[in-house]
Amino acid sequence: MTTKILIPLDGSLCAERALTYLQWLGLPENTEVVLVSVIDPAYYVYGAMNYSAPDLLTSTQADTEKYLKLQSSQLQKQGYKVTTKMTVGDAAAKILEAAQTQHVDMIAMATHGRSGFMRWILGSVAERVISQATVPTFLVRDEHTVPAKVPSPIIVPLDGSELAEQALATATELAKRMKSELFLLNAFDVVGKVDAGLYVETQEEMDDAIQAWRDYMEGYLASKKAELRAQGIASQTRMVLEDAATAIEDVVAMESAGLIVMSTHGRTGLQRWLYGSVANKVLRNVTCPLLLVRPPKALAESSLVNMNDVYVPSISQ
């Protein structure tokens, strides 16, 4: 089965970093790459003095087509099937439109690019794509480190909910192909006294809640580890009393993790993570790539069973 991956490029080396991770996401013989460049006329208002807006746009379109042809040729030499698309309009909207019309399985992009009238302001584009994409989104920070051949372990944050578990299926497929170890992480955020009053009235109730979390999650993580073992995938688990974003950052540092795979949505409340906030913090504070998986809309909406189960529409802030 062919995996179709869309990679937005703005002509900058920063955006091109997403290309270096293709080796993680699919083998050349069964991966099709869709390279998309968007020319946004709004960024050409302050163009060069010697060019009129139409002339500048025409020149930029020609340069972009040459650039995409060069990138396509380099990928084809590696064995990838490549499609290119150059379009004019709002960058984020056009990327999302291309993802839908091209029926891609994943979007892979850098979180930052070069700005200026000849470039996208890629940070804002990435945030909008993340918040609206319906397919998994692989995000690369603008770092100078060379990607590892095999990202191991792959960190998979879980809160025990079916929403969060959507990321595990994606991580499992990656682990099978790359023979990577999975690291299943659960964090219990012990809220402060003020916030605790929203959930419990006494310290005894808090202690009982923590113990209930331990009992449930120990069994839950053990069952997931057994399922992975049956598929030939090595894994380890960890439970920590810490806020989720900090826990993920700490484990990434301690384990020298190469990749985080997590859901964009989860349940909130005393024993659940507010995933939108967690994903946003992780994206801003870790240097390794992050693969965000959005659960089906029907599943997310079905989790709205009470005030402690809140649907988070996006991770952008």
Of 148, 159, 164, 129, give the one whose Cα is nearest residue 255. 148
Asked whether the beta carbons of 275 and 163 are under 8 A apart, the reply is yes
Helices (H), 179-259: 193-196, 203-230, 244-255
Residue predicted with more confidence, 227 or 117: 227
Q: Can you read off the two tokens belonging to residue 133?
A: 């994409």
Point out the least confidently predicted range of 44-58, 93-107, 174-188: 44-58
Residue predicted with more confidence, 110 or 268: 110
CB atoms within 10 A of CB 76: 13
Q: In what order do the strands lie in the sheet with 290-293?
A: 81-88, 31-39, 3-8, 106-110, 137-140, 290-293, 259-263, 154-157, 182-187, 235-240
Q: What does residue 315 show for φ and ψ, rounded to 5 degrees?
A: -110, 0
Round to whole Å and give the CA distance between 307 and 317.
22
153 preceded by a cis bond (ω within 30 of 0): yes
- Three-state SS for 71? helix
Q: What is the DSSP string of 101-162?
A: HTT-SEEEEES----STTS--HHHHHHHHHHH-SS-EEEE-S--PPPPSS--SEEEE--SSH
Would you say residue 197 has pLDDT above 70?
A: no
Q: What is the mean pLDDT of the chain?
A: 80
Please state the rounded mean pLDDT for residues 183-200.
64
Please state the rounded mean pLDDT for residues 118-126.
59
Read off the pLDDT of residues 130-170 as tens digits, 9 standing for 90 and up: 888 999 999 997 665 667 678 889 999 998 888 888 899 99
Round to whole Å and give the CA distance between 131 and 287.
20
Domains of the chain: 3-140 (3.40.50.620), 154-302 (3.40.50.620)
Read off the pLDDT of residues 242-298 as tens digits, 9 standing for 90 and up: 888 899 999 999 999 999 999 886 654 333 444 456 777 888 888 889 999 987 765
Would you say residue 76 has pLDDT above 80?
A: yes
